[in-house]
């Protein structure tokens, strides 16, 4: 790999790391944030969701902006805005100020991320280099969440939770310099922004998640829950109608004509929906039930992080030998087994070592086998004019899966507390139930893999037989 390409990949990976890391860097700081800003348990969920929803909701608009205004320009604008809003979030004097800052952080990430992935796709066209670059990008995307737990826990215990935001400022400044120096301006093309599609998508997903979070406390029969849920479904239906009619949609529906790409997007949505719950529930279990500090709870994810990141070096060889579909299915099966066993262990108030340590490593191996094949298949056979939208959809599936899965599993968690039991036992039981919900999400991802990608293989075999005849 040439030095210039290596620098481009370094910039892209660093950009992806800080935006993914910020989805979880606050998790181990939740008790401290609630205490310092006087936030309730329900409002604390929006420390995550305000960022994730804005990130996922505006990714498609960010991808379109990269196509129309230039990917280097949007990458620079996104990093600059992300740096500024990180500073504001760290300085937040009130809960409202923090949540608004986190929302703008998510919007900034939505401008930068699709531009970065599209630049990766355009810069690495040779098969072997492309596979290696995607493997590194996928490993960082997947492992960034657990790295965020460690960093957030360290700052919370030894400095302040605010430094989890402040650390983005010097990194952002350096990245801005490197983008201007090493990435050449990209071509732009004429077109229009699909603002109607962008707004209905983000409003629809936000209303859906808000309704689920409300249902966790009020129940689904309460108007405060079912009205936003109904509004969310209606807005998402309007979004699809707009995209079907728009001359230049932010989501060209033709991208879903490929069963392989559609399966990759849905599989990623479901996998992250189950996987992200690890970063929310397990650190709280370690702190509330086992007495870990914030930093210790972050360090507890090292076996998961090391195993997942280590798979980056193994996956390209496995894919060359067995193919994306087999590696993906095997990774999902390993993740299901690890999550199921961990759920049973937590329900029994297990010690961290060796049971949880080993199971987290197993889950990290499974997760590390999943994301590269899903990324590769989500970008396969995409026309050049759709590359920005396709890369945006990959990240939309990732972020919207995280917010939707967390909202669903919080409902499961709140509905599973054992009344009349010791607090630590009741909490462990609720976390165990949420982890079973995670198993259901990942199992659904496996089912999608078997249905969508199994059919793709059958079609290719028939085509090969017809050619040979």
* Number of CB atoms found within 10 A of residue 195's CB: 12
CA–CA separation, 344 vs 350, rounded Å? 9
User: What pLDDT shows up at residue 80?
Assistant: 95
The predicted model scores a pTM of 0.81
291 φψ region: left (φ > 0), alpha (ψ -120 to 50), beta (else): left
Least Cα distance to 275 among 177, 164, 364, 147 occurs for 364
Q: Look up the CATH superfamily of 3-183+250-468.
A: MFS general substrate transporter like domains (1.20.1250.20)
CA–CA separation, 457 vs 296, rounded Å? 45
Contact 30, 284 (CB under 8 A): yes
User: What pLDDT shows up at residue 419?
Assistant: 62
CA–CA separation, 166 vs 278, rounded Å? 25
Is the peptide bond prior to 210 cis by the omega test (within 30 degrees of 0)? no
* Lookup result for tokens 């050449």: 184
Summarize pLDDT for 261-308 with one digit per residue, the tens: 888 999 999 999 998 778 778 888 888 788 888 889 888 888 998 898
Q: What angle do CA 276, 279, 281 make, to 5 degrees?
A: 105
CA–CA separation, 242 vs 197, rounded Å? 6
Hey, what are 122's tokens? 């355009």
Summarize pLDDT for 401-445 with one digit per residue, the tens: 888 888 888 888 887 766 666 777 788 888 888 899 999 999 999
User: What pLDDT shows up at residue 332?
Assistant: 95
Q: What angle do CA 389, 276, 38 make, to 5 degrees?
A: 110
Each domain of the chain, given as residue ranges in start order, spans 3-183+250-468, 194-249
249 φψ region: left (φ > 0), alpha (ψ -120 to 50), beta (else): beta
CA–CA separation, 241 vs 248, rounded Å? 13
For the chain, which ranges sit under pLDDT 50? 456, 459, 465
CA–CA separation, 15 vs 8, rounded Å? 11
Contact 211, 232 (CB under 8 A): yes
Q: Taking each helix axis from N to C terminus, what angle separates 95-123 and 127-158, rounded to the nearest 10 degrees? A: 160
347 CB-side CA count, 13 A: 14
């Amino acid at each position: 790999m040439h030095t210039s390409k290596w620098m481009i990949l370094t910039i892209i990976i660093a950009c992806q790391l800080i935006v993914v890391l910020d989805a979880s860097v606050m998790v181990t700081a939740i008790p401290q944030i609630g205490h310092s800003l006087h936030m309730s348990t329900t409002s604390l969920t929006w420390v995550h969701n305000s960022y994730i929803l804005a990130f996922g909701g505006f990714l498609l608009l960010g991808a379109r902006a990269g196509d129309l205004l230039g990917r280097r320009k949007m990458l620079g604008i996104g990093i600059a805005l992300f740096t500024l809003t990180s500073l504001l979030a760290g300085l937040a004097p009130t809960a409202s100020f923090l949540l608004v800052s986190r929302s703008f952080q998510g919007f900034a990430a939505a401008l930068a991320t699709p531009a970065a992935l599209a630049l990766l796709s355009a810069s690495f066209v040779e098969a072997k280099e492309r596979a290696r670059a995607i493997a590194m990008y996928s490993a960082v995307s997947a492992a960034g969440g657990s790295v965020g737990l460690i960093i957030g826990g360290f700052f919370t215990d030894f400095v302040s939770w605010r430094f989890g935001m402040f650390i983005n400022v010097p990194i952002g400044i350096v990245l801005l310099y490197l983008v201007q120096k090493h990435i050449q301006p990209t071509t732009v093309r004429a077109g229009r922004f699909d603002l109607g599609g962008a707004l209905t998508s983000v409003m629809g997903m936000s209303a859906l998640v808000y309704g689920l979070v409300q249902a966790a406390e009020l129940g689904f029969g309460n108007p405060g829950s079912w009205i936003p849920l109904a509004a969310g479904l209606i807005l998402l239906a309007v979004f699809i109608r707009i995209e079907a009619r728009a001359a230049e949609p932010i989501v060209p529906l033709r991208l879903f004509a490929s069963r392989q790409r559609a399966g990759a997007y849905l599989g990623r949505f479901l996998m992250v929906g189950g996987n992200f719950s690890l970063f929310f529930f397990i650190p709280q279990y370690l702190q509330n039930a086992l007495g870990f500090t914030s930093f210790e709870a972050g360090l507890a994810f090292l076996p998961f992080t090391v195993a997942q990141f280590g798979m980056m070096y193994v996956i390209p060889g496995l894919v060359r030998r067995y193919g994306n579909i087999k590696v993906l299915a095997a990774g999902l099966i390993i993740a299901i087994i690890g999550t199921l066993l961990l759920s049973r262990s937590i329900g029994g108030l297990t010690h961290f070592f060796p049971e949880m340590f080993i199971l987290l490593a197993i889950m990290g191996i499974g997760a590390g086998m999943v994301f590269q094949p899903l990324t590769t298949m989500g970008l396969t056979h995409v026309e050049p004019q759709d590359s920005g939208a396709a890369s945006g959809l990959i990240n939309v599936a990732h972020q919207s899966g995280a917010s939707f899965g967390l909202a669903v599993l919080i409902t499961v968690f709140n509905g599973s507390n054992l009344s009349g039991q010791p607090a630590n036992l009741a909490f462990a039981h609720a976390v165990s139930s949420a982890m079973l919900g995670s198993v259901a999400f990942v199992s659904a991802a496996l089912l999608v893999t078997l249905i969508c990608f199994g059919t793709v293989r059958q079609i290719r075999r028939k085509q090969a037989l017809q050619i040979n005849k």
